[in-house]
Amino acid sequence: MAGDRVEKDTMGEVRVPKDALWGASTQRAVENFPISGLRFPRVFLEALGLVKWACSEANMDLGLLDRKIGGAIANAARDVAAGTHDDQFPLDIFQTGSGTSTNTNANEVIANLANLALGGTVGAKKPAHPNDHVNMGQSSNDVIPTAIHLAALLAMERELVPALRRLHEALAAKAKAWDGIVKSGRTHLMDATPIRLGQEFSGYASQVEHAVRRVQGTYRHLGELALGGTAVGTGINAHPDMPPRAIRRLAEATSLPLRRADNAFEAQAAQDALIEASGALRVVAASLFKIADDVRLMGSGPRTGLAELKLPELQPGSSIMPGKVNPVIPEAVLQVCVQVYGNDATVGAAGLANHLDLSTMMPVMARNLLESVHLLARACEVFREKCVDGLQPNLEKIRRDAEMSTAIVTRLNPIIGYDKAAELAKESMRTGKTVKELVIEKGILPREEAERLLDPKALTEANKDLLGSGGG
């Protein structure tokens, strides 16, 4: 075959595409796993390249790796981290559960790049050997979990946390601007005592603020790296000083809180930190779902819904109903949230596959966790840019609903009792008169007192004693 070259590995000869930088072992995996077409994301390949770079530097510092060969390996690994050779990582996510095929893929690509730089040829395995040099002091079993942890931290710190912070700022700005807008509260989707629109949005802002803390709370355990455990956690074939030196370089290069795992056996035999991180992302998704869904509800209408908010009009909403505009951004966000829930279910289930001394569903855990980080980050950005920033209150509708809410009668409980207050509420519903009008009409309170006690805005100030006594 003119387009191929023949390479050998421990199992015999393999035909590899002539221009490929990978070798025989990677090619076997290409042929063995034609399953989904899904690949490891860019941030994982960056992390994997960084791990290989850091290990080569540490091995050179210890005098274990020739400086000329090691320097070429380090340069090639940095190129892989930078994304120069992403097309050389063709393997499917659904592969060997340790990710060995992808670690081998990295070893072969980096070795071939190093050999080209040193005047050698692709596939010769000299002067740089993929196993003896690129993989020195390493195993797939410690490299892959290390790369997953590093990738998750990179993605969270670069993408998700900044996106959440910007969304928090946007929601907090709305809360401040709308603090004086009084509306009807709603519990169980039914009228409740008044609340300020700004108060509702302060709640949303607080949810996102908590989301940032939840995400960052996973850093402690994600920052524990399995590197140095090699095959089963014992560190066989790794110089004892190599892992701490490599991790120190990774921490300096990324400014992330990285350290060697307290127990390499735990770090390789289980992936609890990934389950924890995915669970935190599920909570973030729950918060984002609530906010987007509330915005969608408050923007429903324009005639038959709540119609309290005016959402930005971005595109026609129907192919048959002219003039219809739908809450497309909140709906996109909601779909992201349910996808994150599905990803979390996958990560959690995969985290059960920790048989004896190795977790064996790491690729699918990595893919789903990193997808959740990316999707949530993008959803936050789109939600902020195309929806939250452009939200406007429908002041007339909000005012009318607040004044007509029968739940205002709650303030009268300490004065006339729950049962009589309930009768007033029902009469208000029957007659269409406001509770305040009925209170004045029936002489329950003087007009001035009724105006003061039943002012919707005053009812939103929970710490203000409107009656001069407790209760309510």
The pLDDT tens digits along the chain (472 residues) read 458 999 999 999 999 999 999 999 999 999 999 999 999 999 999 999 999 999 999 999 999 999 999 999 999 999 999 999 999 999 999 999 999 999 999 999 999 999 999 999 999 999 999 999 999 999 999 999 999 999 999 999 999 999 999 999 999 999 999 999 999 999 999 999 999 999 999 999 999 999 999 999 999 999 999 999 999 999 999 999 999 999 999 999 999 999 999 999 999 999 999 999 999 999 999 999 999 999 999 999 999 999 999 999 999 999 999 999 999 999 999 999 999 999 999 999 999 988 999 999 999 999 999 999 999 999 999 999 999 999 999 999 999 998 888 888 888 899 899 998 889 889 888 998 888 888 899 899 999 888 888 888 888 886 554 444 333 3
240 part of a folded domain: no
For tokens 């996973």, what's the residue?
218
260 part of a folded domain: no
Among 372, 395, 418, the domain-final residue is 395
Looking at the fold, whether 123 and 202 belong to one and the same domain comes out as: no
CATH code, domain carrying 334: 1.20.200.10
400 part of a folded domain: no
246 part of a folded domain: no
416 part of a folded domain: yes
156 part of a folded domain: yes
Amino acid letter at 183?
K
Looking at the fold, whether 271 and 332 belong to one and the same domain comes out as: yes
CATH code, domain carrying 443: 1.10.40.30
Domain that holds residue 425: 405-460
Give me the active site residues, please: 188, 318
Question: How many domains does the chain fold into?
Answer: 3
